[in-house]
Amino acid sequence: MKIFAYALREFDEKEFFDQFSKEFHCEYGYTTEYPSPENVELARGYDAISATPCDLGADMLNLFYQAGVRYIATRSIGFDHIDLTRAKELGMGVAHVSYAPETVADYAIMLMLMCCRKIYPILERAKLQDYTLKGKMGKDLCDCTVGIIGTGQIGATVIKHLSSFGCRLLAYDLYPNEECAKTAEYVSLEELYAQSDIITLHTPSNAESYHMLNTKAFAQMKDDVIIINTARGALIHTDALIDALITGKVGYAALDVLENEDGLYYSNRIGDVIDNRTMAILRSFPNVILSPHTAFYTRKVVRDMAYKTIQNVHDMMNCIENPLVIL
């Protein structure tokens, strides 16, 4: 079994790839670069490639197939960056990873608390030695109605952990979770929009969920609503969010993910002119928190992602049933 890893981080991932490749008797090579037409040949002679979210559309899959690669193992929960239709046509196996839901769930709750207590402007003003109270009054999370969209593993964990805060909890999912229903009230999406003080997104990114928070959705929400997104940037129509922030419909937004973040997050862009107008606008707002897709980032999760990446390739090659194998 031979795996070539793209965009491998030497400062954290390599340690675990070294460890688990020995356990699985796997030979692996790597580059710190993201896959591109210029470096596809690095994977020639390997059974599988692994990468973090990047462009793995039809053209890239064709190139990897021509180089002899037959399996794709993304080191992420999300796999919307991979053209699954083309992979299936080529007969290429595709797999993603999973990790403990507490990591992202607790990060989302942290962002809720930061928004409720206006911690970002408080800290920014403190840097200037402005220790006055005007404009810093927050609200208690326990007095809020929190709407959770998506009650898979992460959304369910958000509900479980928020139950200790005393919030009223609303939930929406196409497939309600019986355990979640003991703590949260399942309602329609329209009811959730209308009643929630805080809305947090934990649903996959697909054609049905694309831009689910749009102008129409924001119009149905309470004034001064707080929006939390630790899922995928494409769930929110960014221009509509900007308009809602300007009008005060959205009082605060905390976004760990952003539309068009590929090639931006996880890169050192100090001194660069970044061609992302919506990001520049959002960064100018004192009531917006942008974190660079780091909700997942703990040592435990990085370890799990490395292990499951290698395990997934092993299972695909040996036709072992695995829920993380997509094709």
Which sequence positions are flagged as catalytic? 232, 261, 293
Nearest residue to 69 (alpha-carbon basis) of 37, 103, 93: 93
Short-list 215, 260, 198, CA closest to 234: 260
Helices 119-127, 102-116: inter-axial angle, 10-degree rounding: 70
**Alpha carbon distance 276, 260 (integer Å):** 8
Report the distance separating Cα 96 and Cα 326, nearest Å. Answer: 8
Beta carbons within 8 Å of 238's beta carbon, 6+ residues apart: 258, 259, 278, 282
Of how many residues is the chain composed?
Answer: 327
- Do strands 288-290 and 250-255 pair parallel, antiparallel, or not at all (unpaired)? parallel
Query: What are the angstrom distances between the C-alpha of 59 and each of 40, 42, 56, 76?
Result: 11, 17, 8, 21
